[in-house]
């Protein structure tokens, strides 16, 4: 979820930690795992502090009933939200434009880098995860991919997406269509093997507990075509994490994400920070993630300034 951070007070320790974080460095490096774990203290939206993520997760999803409740409350929150641009963007409908613009530039760059002829003349297929009303598909993915599948657990959002993406409401040729609409949460979804060139995950992964995050990506890797990749676009906490008690989602730090990517066996191929959002919002980062079995299938040479794929260890 897109969230305002103005009501959060950061303690000086968290801010200080953040100042040591490298931003936009050309090679992704993280500290050894045990050190990372130690550093991940966090907050909830009421300002309560947790020693580490384990303490928070024990409380939130520590037994099977709590976990059921966590996901029920997460989806329950969205069931009470209007199926509109403002609804899925937490009242910030106007960030749609800069969001899509930055996503398009990032995607274009990746397709140019990674796919022969930037993907032109290929039948490209994408999956839009936690798609809401189909905002990302309608404004971006459908123009680049011949088929887009949507995955969304909230049925009135998915109904709106179906409507928004009906052929008569699209400005694309018949070669481009929304193909499948899955009313399922990420933690229960297994994609068809080798179906997708790109799996796009925006503003929804915070709803997944760490173990489900890791198992989702492990299953989803098998859903990628050779050379396919993930784009994860998410809010970033300055350090550690911030738990939203209302919608049951977690905003993770860059370091927290890197720890999870390692556990998933994913490499950061490139990342880019969103620009032009209001100051009161969390910063937003786009990660392009490739798998261990990933091989370059493109003929174009990588740009000199590009981040090189490399396992985060």
Binding interface with ligand SAH (CB under 6 A): 1, 71, 74-75, 78, 88, 130-132, 135-136, 152-154, 157, 185-187, 202-204, 207
Q: Shortest gap between Cβ of 3 and ligand SAH (angstroms)?
A: 10
Nearer to ligand SAH (CB atom), residue 203 or residue 271 = 203
Answer whether 223's CB lies under 8 Å from 127's CB: yes
Nearer to ligand SAH (CB atom), residue 113 or residue 210 = 210
- Rg, the chain, Cα only: 19
Nearer to ligand SAH (CB atom), residue 202 or residue 253 = 202
Tell me how far apart the alpha carbons of residues 88 and 82 are, in angstroms, rounded to a whole number. 8
Nearer to ligand SAH (CB atom), residue 28 or residue 242 = 242
Phi, psi at residue 288, to the nearest 5°? -100, 125
Nearer to ligand SAH (CB atom), residue 136 or residue 178 = 136
Q: Shortest gap between Cβ of 132 and ligand SAH (angstroms)?
A: 3
Nearer to ligand SAH (CB atom), residue 271 or residue 294 = 271
Token pair in block for residue 62? 């520590």
Q: Shortest gap between Cβ of 27 and ligand SAH (angstroms)?
A: 29
Q: Shortest gap between Cβ of 105 and ligand SAH (angstroms)?
A: 17
Q: Shortest gap between Cβ of 48 and ligand SAH (angstroms)?
A: 22
Tell me how far apart the alpha carbons of residues 136 and 247 are, in angstroms, rounded to a whole number. 21
Using Cβ positions, the residue closest to ligand SAH within the complex turns out to be 132
Residues forming a β-bridge with 286: 233, 272
Q: Shortest gap between Cβ of 285 and ligand SAH (angstroms)?
A: 14
Nearer to ligand SAH (CB atom), residue 1 or residue 214 = 1
Q: Shortest gap between Cβ of 128 and ligand SAH (angstroms)?
A: 7
Nearer to ligand SAH (CB atom), residue 56 or residue 88 = 88
Q: Shortest gap between Cβ of 102 and ligand SAH (angstroms)?
A: 12
Q: Shortest gap between Cβ of 66 and ligand SAH (angstroms)?
A: 15
Nearer to ligand SAH (CB atom), residue 124 or residue 205 = 205
What would the 3-class secondary structure string for the chain be? CCCECCCCCCCHHHHHHHHCCCCCCCCCCCCCHHHHHHHCCEEECCCCEECCHHHHHHHHHCCHHHHHHHHHHHHHHHHCCCCCHHHHCCCCHHHHHHHHHHHHHHHHHHHHHHCHHHHCCCCCEEEEECCCCCHHHHHHHHHHCCEEEEECCCHHHHHHHHHHCCHHHCCCCCCCEEEEEECCCHHHCCCCCCCEEEEEEECCHHHCCHHHHHHHHHHHHCCEEEEEEEEEEEECECCCEEEECCCCEEEEEHHHHHHHHHHHCEEEEEEEECCCCCCCECCEEEEEEEECCCCCCCCCCCCCCCCCCCECC
């Amino acid at each position: 979820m897109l969230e305002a951070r103005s009501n959060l007070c950061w303690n000086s320790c968290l801010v200080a930690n953040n100042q040591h974080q490298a931003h936009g460095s050309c090679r992704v490096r993280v500290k050894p795992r045990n050190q990372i774990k130690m550093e991940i203290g966090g907050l909830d939206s009421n300002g309560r502090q947790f020693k580490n993520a384990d303490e928070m997760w024990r409380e939130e999803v520590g037994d099977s009933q709590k976990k059921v409740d966590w996901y029920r409350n997460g989806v329950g929150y969205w069931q009470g939200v209007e199926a509109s641009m403002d609804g899925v963007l937490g009242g910030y409908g106007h960030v749609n434009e800069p969001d899509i613009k930055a996503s398009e530039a990032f995607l274009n760059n990746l397709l140019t880098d990674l796919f022969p002829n930037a993907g032109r003349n290929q039948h490209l297929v994408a999956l839009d995860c936690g798609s809401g009303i189909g905002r990302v598909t309608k404004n971006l993915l459908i123009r680049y991919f011949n088929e887009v599948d949507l995955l969304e657990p909230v049925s009135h959002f998915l109904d709106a997406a179906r409507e928004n993406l009906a052929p008569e409401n699209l400005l694309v040729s018949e070669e481009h269509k929304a193909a499948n609409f899955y009313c399922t949460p990420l933690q229960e979804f297994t994609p068809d093997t080798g179906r997708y060139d790109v799996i796009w995950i925006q503003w929804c992964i915070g709803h997944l507990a760490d173990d489900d995050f890791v198992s989702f990506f492990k299953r989803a890797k098998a859903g990628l075509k050779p050379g396919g990749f993930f784009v994860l676009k998410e809010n970033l906490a300055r350090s550690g994490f911030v738990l939203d008690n209302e919608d049951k989602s977690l905003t993770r730090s860059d370091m927290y994400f890197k720890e999870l990517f390692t556990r998933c066996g994913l490499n950061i191929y490139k990342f880019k920070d969103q620009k032009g959002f209001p100051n009161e919002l969390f910063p937003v980062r786009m990660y392009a993630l490739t798998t261990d079995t990933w091989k370059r299938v493109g003929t174009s040479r990588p740009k000199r300034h590009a981040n090189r794929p490399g396992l985060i260890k």
